[in-house]
Structure 1
Amino acid sequence: MNAEKGKATIMHDLKGHTMTPSFIDPHSHIIFALDMADQANVSAPPAGPANNAQEIIAELKKFAEARRAKPGELIVGYGYDENMMAKGHPLTRDDLDPAFPDNPVYVIHVSGHGAVLNSRAFEKYGISAATKTPPGGVIVRKAGSDEPAGLIMETAYLPVFSNRSAPTQRQELDQLKFAQNLYAGAGVTTAQDGATHTGDLAVFQRAAARGALYIDVIAYPFFTDLDKILAVNPPATWGKYANRLKIGGCKITLDGSPQGKTAAFTTPYLTGGPNGEKDWKGEPGIPQDEANAIVKKCYDAGLRVNMHANGDAAIDNAIKAHEFAAAGNPTRDRGTIIVHSQFVRKDQLQKYVEYKLMPTLFTEHAFFFGDTHVLNRGRQQAYFLSPLKTAMAMGLRPTNHTDFNVAPIDQMLVIWSAVTRKSRSAEVIGPDERVTPLQALKAITINAAHQYWEEDKKGSIELGKLADLVILSDNPLTVKPDAIRDIKVLETIKEGKTIYTIK
């Protein structure tokens, strides 16, 4: 080490702690972190404090009182998970209405694909008994009526999501600091925004122009906004950093979430659909022809594509869209990512190998939702959830993500979940898919750099690469597996500059 020391070299005594490459986020939604600065955390433990309707309402009221919310002011919470509620008692508008008679309230589903609204919120967004459920959407209805019960999902939720209140310039700056510090505190120096809408990209571009980004942000414009974004950001500007911001490629959503029963499968859910449907297999997010056309538009423009697909039917659709858009040359590496790939079949993994498609997997589902997946899909399919070990054995270089804020930005939890695959009940969800700590670490460092085509400058500690580093309280490669999740990030370094230290 001393042989490499130069005049500008800074020597740092680790005092027995461990240094690794900093973590590269393969898939999350950093824009949600900006929103979270002004939302109540109603997640179930360990991500939050709420396990039932009463605790959710108590957290919302505490938040509203701290913000001195006025009548008519919107109140938002995040992290609602119906699978953690008492059996048969999901959160509904009837729970929220008595506590918030004068304020519109919505509580974002843990998947990020929906929300529970109270009556004032339904009024605000123009959703009523007369509202038809849109294709690819879910509006849960009260028994025996068309009246919305509270939960809306997927395309039915998009009008609510798209009409989020714009912050003031001061709020925007504060939110950007909050969001970046959240990621840096987890050792992450490259973050993704995995479904960027037009207004979201404008936020990031304003921040980049002001020099306000101190971690790298890679944005993936959402397919619904693709034409508008391309009109002012031509393809030649994509794939290049400008003041730490890069437009990485197009994002397409082909189904929903397995825990929300909106992921699309080739076989039925064992527990029925979100509205009590029989033989429910979920539904595609968009028709196959539309998926084909969007992927082709991106490929023809030389743009990379991220396709969200959780269920095996949606993964079939992703592969078909790639085959259609690849114009007779499906084996050329276009940097296409199949996001989540949670219930991928082995024959589909073989197609990934053949077509050079890359999965970014999500092993934290084994902990947060593994018990639910066993109930909904059965052990055989649930145990092959996010098959990191099989994918690596087949020659793929999968990554492993948090899908924040579906799960917290906690990279030690990511590594732990890949190594142990333990559920909340301590059942091992697929013992044959457990990987070594080194393999789990590679999935959020060098493999993630490879995913972004940034392997030449990130992902490992080598001469000539960026000094993107993280210092940990212990060594994840040598501690006992169950101790990995307790390791703390002590310091995060971006290009040689400390951007976070533990308080």
Structure 2
Amino acid sequence: MNMPFHADLILAHGTVLTVDSNDSEAEAVAVKDGRILAVGSDNEVFAWRGPETEILVCSGRTVVPGFNDSHTHMASMGEFYLNPKALNCASELNPTIPDLMRSLAEQVEKTPKGEWVGGRNLDPNTLTEGRWPTRWELDEVSPDHPVVLFLRGFHAHVANSRALELAKVDRDTPDPEGGVIDRDAATGEPTGVMRDAPFIQAVLPPTNLTSMKRALGEVSELYAELGITSSADAGAPSTPDSYRAFQECIDEGTLQIRTYLMIREAFLRKHDIGLRTGHGNDRLRMGAMKIFVDGSIQAFTCAFHEPYIGKSTRGLEGLNYSADQLNDLVAEAHRLGFQVAMHAQGDYGIELAIDAVENAMNRYPRENPRHRIEHVLCPTETDLRRIRDLGIVPSFYVFHPWFWGDQHMDNFIGPERAARMVPVRTALELGIPACAHSDAPVCTPNDPVWPSNPLWGMACAVTRRTRGGRDIGIDERITPAQALRIYTINGAYASFEEDIKGSLEPGKLADMVVLETNPLHVEDPWEIRNIRVERTLLGGETTYAAS
């Protein structure tokens, strides 16, 4: 057959998982001008072969759509305390508070006098002592350097006295709205622990354009190695340079990821120049207005209907808005034409978010606003049915059962609520196009202790097993094929881009990953996490090739 033109590239002799509406499989894919030209058998696709067509032989390999990390914070990795060079406080590396203090002392020794020392991935519940270190323990190691160690998830931290002094926090400082300053029961003095309280963040060294561009370049290389070709950045540092960094990195060729920008509501409302969700192109697109409804379960600031186990709090102090305030904020964003993405994790916080969307759509009807709820830790089935009926897209953090499942059962919400957390299967069975994400740098995709890359996420969603080896909510296990879908086409749907990417079909962007084996046919689904990415292609161009 004489074709009017020829393919630039053909991937052949492999297994192609198209993730189309029928989950079709093929043998080969042809690419022309950055888009998919044909998908089918080797014979069908080789009809597009010309004298200059590059052939990539994928014998024994599996080709899937490029992975979509639907909620991450790429530019934020330029912050000094989020950078990979910051102290990793993970309990697996520092089992006790004395161990952590020794590691901190080494970090202090390497830091010029007077400069900030930052740490990340602290998890006090898994320290041997089962508690936070105090400001006074930090003072013994670092009386002169300001120190702040962040909880994994960044919704809480502990700071030493020098840092509190710079932030002007003392015993007379009131708790902020939506946050808590922990205090010594006997003296009323701040212990240094603050949960969803932004005082320290206000005095940290500012992130600059150079550090954010460096972070974006480093993340781009890492994501390509993991097969990630698209990402939704769910809130960069609130400065114009954050968004300038994305554009400059694309122009300079250092950001090889298609990016959907969520912008924090306070910054977006202050700097509204009339651009709305969808503005941009297939490399950089304006996304949702980002709103924080509640906080973090590890900080006990997720808002629940029932108390945390062993505590009187329901996490309502973590709410950032009253119901009326949230309703008005979401309604105005909806009226103006924005998609809204609300961070909501506890069942009470999720209910408030759903109520706000319903209120907005009743007040200002418009077609397919496709509002989102981020993380969606513990919705009820009633919540999920309302999510479906309102067309809301839930973006799930599917790592919860493995990373924190034991703590959820034993320390936070108990076995019954923990069993229904991250209910991806129920959502999919209700016809909800749920997607999945890493929330990096909460857990970074290459973290030596808690990696959060897509193949790990797929394994977690399929197995629903804790790090302690316990099954958790097995009725919410999904199939490998469903796990692949939430990391590809459903992520594209969440950003209104399902017509141009997320599946391997003619006309769509040629974003693909070549895997060493088929994730749908592994004997032990937990082994999905160990499947090697052999090649990543963005628009048909290789951005990563395994050596």
After TM superposition, the score normalised by the length of structure 2 is 0.84
Confirm or deny that 1:116 pairs with 2:171. Answer: no
Equivalent residue of 1:106, what SS?
strand
Higher alpha-carbon Rg: 2
- How far did 1:62 drift? 4.2
- Alignment match, 1:252: 291
- Alignment match, 2:544: 500
Equivalent pair of 1:251/1:306 in contact (CA under 8 Å)? yes
- Alignment match, 2:206: 166
Which consecutive residues of structure 1, in runs of 5 or more, have no partner in the other structure?
A: 273-277
- Once the two structures are superposed, the pairs formed by residues 117-136 of structure 1 within 5 Å of their partners are 117-136=159-178
Cα displacement string for residues 47-86 of structure 1 (whole angstroms, at most 9, x for unaligned residues): x733333343444444455xx4211101111111122112
Cα displacement string for residues 270-312 of structure 1 (whole angstroms, at most 9, x for unaligned residues): 121xxxxx24443322222221122122111111010111001
Cα displacement string for residues 408-444 of structure 1 (whole angstroms, at most 9, x for unaligned residues): 3211110011000111111111011001011011000
- Alignment match, 1:139: 181
Cα displacement string for residues 291-339 of structure 1 (whole angstroms, at most 9, x for unaligned residues): 1122122111111010111001101111121122223467942110111
- Alignment match, 1:228: 270
- How far did 1:8 drift? 5.4
Taking a change above 3 Å as real, the CA distance of residues 329 and 196 of structure 1, as seen in their structure-2 partners, is same
Equivalent pair of 2:516/2:533 in contact (CA under 8 Å)? yes
- Alignment match, 1:42: 88
Equivalent pair of 2:334/2:364 in contact (CA under 8 Å)? no
Larger displacement relative to structure 2 (33-42 or 257-266): 33-42
Taking a change above 3 Å as real, the CA distance of residues 55 and 9 of structure 1, as seen in their structure-2 partners, is farther
Distance 1:143 1:171 in 2: 41
Equivalent pair of 1:239/1:247 in contact (CA under 8 Å)? yes
Confirm or deny that 1:342 pairs with 2:377. Answer: yes
Equivalent pair of 1:264/1:314 in contact (CA under 8 Å)? yes
Taking a change above 3 Å as real, the CA distance of residues 359 and 56 of structure 1, as seen in their structure-2 partners, is same
- How far did 1:489 drift? 2.2
Distance 2:232 2:203 in 1: 22
Equivalent pair of 2:75/2:213 in contact (CA under 8 Å)? no
- Once the two structures are superposed, the pairs formed by residues 471-482 of structure 1 within 5 Å of their partners are 471-479=514-522, 480-482=524-526
Q: Give the alignment partner of residue 280 of structure 2, picking from 219, 232, 241.
A: 241
Equivalent residue of 1:71, what SS?
coil
User: Which residue identity does 2:218 align to in structure 1?
Assistant: F
Distance 1:9 1:310 in 2: 49
Cα displacement string for residues 454-487 of structure 1 (whole angstroms, at most 9, x for unaligned residues): 1111111122111111122332111121211112
Equivalent pair of 1:342/1:386 in contact (CA under 8 Å)? yes
- Once the two structures are superposed, the pairs formed by residues 68-87 of structure 1 within 5 Å of their partners are 68-87=110-129
User: Which residue identity does 2:175 align to in structure 1?
Assistant: T
Distance 1:429 1:60 in 2: 35
Larger displacement relative to structure 2 (188-197 or 244-253): 188-197
Equivalent residue of 1:403, what SS?
coil
Equivalent pair of 1:235/1:303 in contact (CA under 8 Å)? no
Q: Give the alignment partner of residue 513 of structure 2, picking from 470, 481, 494.
A: 470
Distance 1:169 1:281 in 2: 36
After TM superposition, the score normalised by the length of structure 1 is 0.91
- Alignment match, 2:73: 29
Distance 1:318 1:439 in 2: 26
Distance 2:342 2:220 in 1: 25
Equivalent pair of 1:42/1:56 in contact (CA under 8 Å)? no
- How far did 1:29 drift? 1.4
Equivalent pair of 2:535/2:545 in contact (CA under 8 Å)? yes
User: Which residue identity does 1:405 align to in structure 2?
Assistant: P
Which consecutive residues of structure 2, in runs of 5 or more, have no partner in the other structure?
A: 1-44, 446-452
Equivalent pair of 1:312/1:344 in contact (CA under 8 Å)? yes
Percent of aligned pairs sharing the same letter: 32
- Alignment match, 2:38: none
Taking a change above 3 Å as real, the CA distance of residues 43 and 445 of structure 1, as seen in their structure-2 partners, is farther
Equivalent residue of 2:55, what SS?
coil
Distance 1:41 1:501 in 2: 30
Equivalent pair of 2:164/2:200 in contact (CA under 8 Å)? no
User: Which residue identity does 2:503 align to in structure 1?
Assistant: S
User: Which residue identity does 1:443 align to in structure 2?
Assistant: I
Confirm or deny that 1:450 pairs with 2:493. Answer: yes
Equivalent pair of 1:292/1:324 in contact (CA under 8 Å)? yes
- How far did 1:196 drift? 3.2
Equivalent pair of 2:295/2:303 in contact (CA under 8 Å)? yes
Q: Give the alignment partner of residue 323 of structure 2, picking from 284, 288, 307.
A: 288
Equivalent pair of 1:78/1:109 in contact (CA under 8 Å)? yes
Distance 1:59 1:21 in 2: 41
User: Which residue identity does 2:347 align to in structure 1?
Assistant: D
Taking a change above 3 Å as real, the CA distance of residues 51 and 159 of structure 1, as seen in their structure-2 partners, is same
Q: Give the alignment partner of residue 340 of structure 2, picking from 282, 285, 305.
A: 305
Q: Give the alignment partner of residue 469 of structure 2, picking from 426, 434, 443.
A: 426
Taking a change above 3 Å as real, the CA distance of residues 346 and 38 of structure 1, as seen in their structure-2 partners, is closer
Equivalent pair of 1:112/1:406 in contact (CA under 8 Å)? yes
Equivalent pair of 1:28/1:404 in contact (CA under 8 Å)? yes
Aligned-pair Cα RMSD in Å: 2.2
Cα displacement string for residues 378-430 of structure 1 (whole angstroms, at most 9, x for unaligned residues): 21111011101111111111112121122232111100110001111111110
- Once the two structures are superposed, the pairs formed by residues 389-408 of structure 1 within 5 Å of their partners are 389-408=425-444
Distance 2:338 2:374 in 1: 16
Equivalent pair of 1:235/1:302 in contact (CA under 8 Å)? no
Equivalent pair of 1:190/1:216 in contact (CA under 8 Å)? yes
Cα displacement string for residues 349-402 of structure 1 (whole angstroms, at most 9, x for unaligned residues): 110111111111122000111111112212111101110111111111111212
Confirm or deny that 1:333 pairs with 2:375. Answer: no
- Alignment match, 2:36: none
Q: Give the alignment partner of residue 175 of structure 1, picking from 215, 237, 244.
A: 215
Distance 2:206 2:389 in 1: 44
Distance 1:160 1:9 in 2: 56
Larger displacement relative to structure 2 (362-371 or 138-147): 138-147
Distance 2:376 2:232 in 1: 17
- Alignment match, 1:275: none
Distance 1:461 1:34 in 2: 34
User: Which residue identity does 1:241 align to in structure 2?
Assistant: G
Equivalent residue of 1:248, what SS?
strand
- How far did 1:203 drift? 3.2
Equivalent pair of 2:77/2:212 in contact (CA under 8 Å)? no
Equivalent pair of 2:455/2:528 in contact (CA under 8 Å)? yes
